[in-house]
Amino acid sequence: MATEAEIAWAAGLFEGEGCFSVWTGAHGRSYVRAQLGMKDGDVVERFAALAGAGKVRKRRTAHERWSPIFEWSTADSEAVRSLIVLLLPWLGERRAAKAREALEVLSHVQTAAKNRTHCAKGHPYDDDNTRIEGDGTYRWRRCRSCKRDYDQARHARAEAVSA
């Protein structure tokens, strides 16, 4: 558990170097992200540890002589909500207003995908019916039943076209 001094430090850092982003994506879904970026990697890592979620990435800058930028971010609804609740009493007016806007959007956001127990078509996410896929950076679950149905329909369409 973070001390009051650590929380105040994190809020001050976030006030200067962080932001809450709210946007509407495909299909009208709303998203919220918290992010913080600066050149001091150790400070960003310390913030990430206090936040307890998100990832820190090292990003190269446009000019080779410039120092790299370390970015922490999370778009996990629960993580953003927890961070806002933690930092809100310490934030200034403008950032606090954005945090409250993000909380309002989060109140309408669906349960995070990682907490869902069934796919969109109602098949259970259990050991027999779930595949873990990923691209090296992110991992996600795929319903085996839905994948099988999709593959069968695609195969039938391909045969109909070739016939």
What pLDDT digit, counting tens, does each position of 106-162 carry? 887 655 566 778 888 889 999 999 998 877 666 778 899 999 999 999 999 999 888
Domain boundaries, the chain: 4-110, 116-162
pLDDT score recorded for residue 64? 77
For helices 77-87 and 93-106, angle between their N-to-C axes, nearest 10 degrees: 150
Q: pLDDT tier at 89 (50, 70, 90 boundaries)?
A: very high
Widest CA span in the chain = 72
**What are the E-state strand segments in the chain?**
18-24, 30-38, 55-59, 69-74, 130-134, 139-143
What CATH number labels 4-110? 3.10.28.10
Average the pLDDT over 50-78 and give the result: 88
Segment 1-13, tens digit of pLDDT: 789 999 999 999 9
